[in-house]
Amino acid sequence: MTAPDAQLDVELRHRVVEAMTTVLKRLVGHEGPITEDLDMADGLGVSSSMGLELLLEVEEQVGIQIDVEKMRPDELRTVGELATFITGHSRPW
Amino acid sequence: MTALDAVSVYTPAFRVPLEDLAEPLGLTDIQVRLFRRFHGLDRIRFDPDRSLGELLRAAVDGLTALRGREDRVRYVVHGRAMPVVAPYPHNPLHDLCRELGLGHALAFTVTQQSCASGLLAVELAGRLLAADPTEGALALVLTGEKAFTRDAQLLPGTSLFGEGSAACLVSADGPRDRLLSYACAQRGEFDAEFGEQSERFQREYRSSLAEVMRRAVAEAGLALDDIRLVLPHNVNVVTWQRLCLLMDFPVQRVLLSNVPDHGHLFCADAFANHRTATEGGLLREGDHYLVATVGAGAGATFSAMVFQH
């Protein structure tokens, strides 16, 4: 489940997307632009273990702790969906 | 009905902090941080002074229910993940049986289901006893092994193995803990050992384990809500958090407290968690609990058992 967009911290979400983009480019060696509608598994080849590395790096870069207990990876397929989840389910580190 | 008459567990006091394993195992800084942050690992148990036979012996020494009943033990089954643990012709299991006065028992090892071989050993012991005409026949199921190579210590991106052992006295019709069901799925296509299909294995891991857990619960004539506690394999915390979301089962009812304190003790996790549950008063008489594990190697096995305490 992702939090309703109306409650999202837009500025935080922007920082999350920026961090995700940086990390994903390095993790998967993606040449083109990383857009929010990209499917992380099928479009970028992100595996489960890479997904955890992505979360860890985003936590450290943005200074947040993500509530991974509530994360349903099967329902968070795209870059944008994961960014929205992280924004709605994290607290300052 | 197969029953665990008594369970004894040995976990060494010596523990190595995760960070101290980085250099010998060749772990990068990010791998260490991932293990700590998401996998919930902290310290891993090892017993550098004990051989495999001594490790198993330590668990049997605590099995007071065995004393004076050695002559009734017809089978000794070692459930183990690693196929080879001693050079031929040494056989630590047979040596141990002789030491314990169990030289008369049929003793053998099962490794075919990797870390799920401990549950297989319990199931096999129950089947052998059910078919055995000897009144009061018992079986001794042993688990535990040495993490003596890098490959035996590290499951990359997933877990770190530690050392510990367990000994269970199994009967065909004891009053506790009675085995109500056993569900097992052997998936040869997930050949983690040779790297084939590893992506698909990762993707289908949770749903495959959920399937056998649900099947075991259904075959026990129960619903998931009837399960007081899940005794997991200690592979890591995040896998169980996500599995619980998938199954709509509260993660608070999965005993994960030994993950940071033990590491993954191969086939002995279920029994170490059983000890924690019983000593901590987490299981009351009559409670149903579910044991679940995955063995990965040359193919994968997902298995689950439901017991009544």
pLDDT tens digits, one per residue of B244-262: 999 999 999 999 999 999 9
Residue B157: closest CA among chain A residues belongs to which residue? A49
Inform me whether the pLDDT recorded for A47 exceeds 90. Answer: no
Inform me whether the pLDDT recorded for B147 exceeds 90. Answer: yes
Q: Which of A41, A53, A69 is opposite residue B241, by nearest beta carbon?
A: A69
DSSP B34: H
Q: Give me the mean pLDDT over the B72-76 stretch.
A: 98
**CA of B18 to nearest chain A CA: how many angstroms apart?**
17
Inform me whether the pLDDT recorded for B2 exceeds 90. Answer: yes
Contact A49 B157 (CB under 8 A): yes
- In order of start, what are the domains of chain A with their CATH numbers? 5-92 (1.10.1200.10)
Say what the pLDDT of residue B193 is.
63
Inform me whether the pLDDT recorded for A3 exceeds 60. Answer: no
Q: How many CA atoms lie within 13 A of B181 on its CB side?
A: 22
Q: Which of A48, A56, A69 is opposite residue B202, by nearest beta carbon?
A: A48
Say what the pLDDT of residue B255 is.
98
* Of the candidate ranges B17-21, B120-124, B190-194, B228-232, the one whose mean pLDDT is the lowest: B190-194
Q: Is A52 on the interface with B (CB under 8 A)?
A: yes
What type of residue is B249?
F
Contact A52 B30 (CB under 8 A): no
Which residue of A1, A48, A89 is the best one to mutate when testing the B interface, meaning the one whose CB has the most B CBs within 10 A? A48
Say what the pLDDT of residue A2 is.
46
**CA–CA separation, B152 and B111 (whole Å):** 14
Q: Give me the mean pLDDT over the B103-111 stretch.
A: 98
List residues of chain B with CB under 8 Å from any CB of chain A. Answer: 30, 33-34, 37-38, 156-158, 199, 202-203, 238, 241-242, 245-246, 251
Contact A47 B199 (CB under 8 A): yes
Contact B203 A48 (CB under 8 A): yes
Q: Give me the mean pLDDT over the B105-133 stretch.
A: 97
Is-contact A26 A56, C-beta < 8 A?
no
Contact A53 B34 (CB under 8 A): yes
Q: Give me the mean pLDDT over the B43-59 stretch.
A: 97
Instruction: Please give the CATH number for the structural domain made up of B3-171.
Output: 3.40.47.10
Give the list of residues 6+ apart from residue A14 with CB closer than 8 angstroms, or none: none
**CA of B304 to nearest chain A CA: how many angstroms apart?**
23
What confidence tens digit (pLDDT) does each residue in A58-80 have?
A: 999 999 999 998 998 888 999 99
Q: What is the ipTM of this complex?
A: 0.87
Instruction: Output the pTM of the full model.
Output: 0.93
Inform me whether the pLDDT recorded for B44 exceeds 50. Answer: yes
Closest residue by Cα to residue A77 from B115, B203, B4: B203
Is-contact B97 B105, C-beta < 8 A?
yes
CATH 3.40.47.10 fits B178-308, yes or no: yes
Q: Is A73 on the interface with B (CB under 8 A)?
A: yes
Is-contact A82 A38, C-beta < 8 A?
no
**CA of A82 to nearest chain B CA: how many angstroms apart?**
15
Contact B245 A71 (CB under 8 A): yes
Which pLDDT band holds residue A8 (cuts at 50, 70, 90)?
A: confident
Q: State percent of chain B over pLDDT 70.
A: 98
Which residue blocks in B62-110 are alpha helix, DSSP H? 92-99
**CA–CA separation, B127 and B75 (whole Å):** 11
Contact B246 A70 (CB under 8 A): no
Question: Average pLDDT, whole number, for chain B?
Answer: 95
Inform me whether the pLDDT recorded for B134 exceeds 80. Answer: yes
Q: Give me the mean pLDDT over the B62-79 stretch.
A: 98
Asked, colleague to colleague, whether B3-171 and B178-308 share their fold, the answer is: yes
Say what the pLDDT of residue B31 is.
95
**CA of B111 to nearest chain A CA: how many angstroms apart?**
27
Contact A74 B246 (CB under 8 A): yes
Q: Which of A48, A49, A56 is opposite residue B37, by nearest beta carbon?
A: A56
Q: In chain B, where are the structural domains located?
A: 3-171, 178-308
Which residue of A49, A55, A85, A86 is the best one to mutate when testing the B interface, meaning the one whose CB has the most B CBs within 10 A? A49
Say what the pLDDT of residue A1 is.
44
Give me the residue label for tokens 């668990």: B59
Region of B101 please: left (phi>0), alpha (psi -120 to 50) or beta: left
Give me the residue label for tokens 């935080």: A12
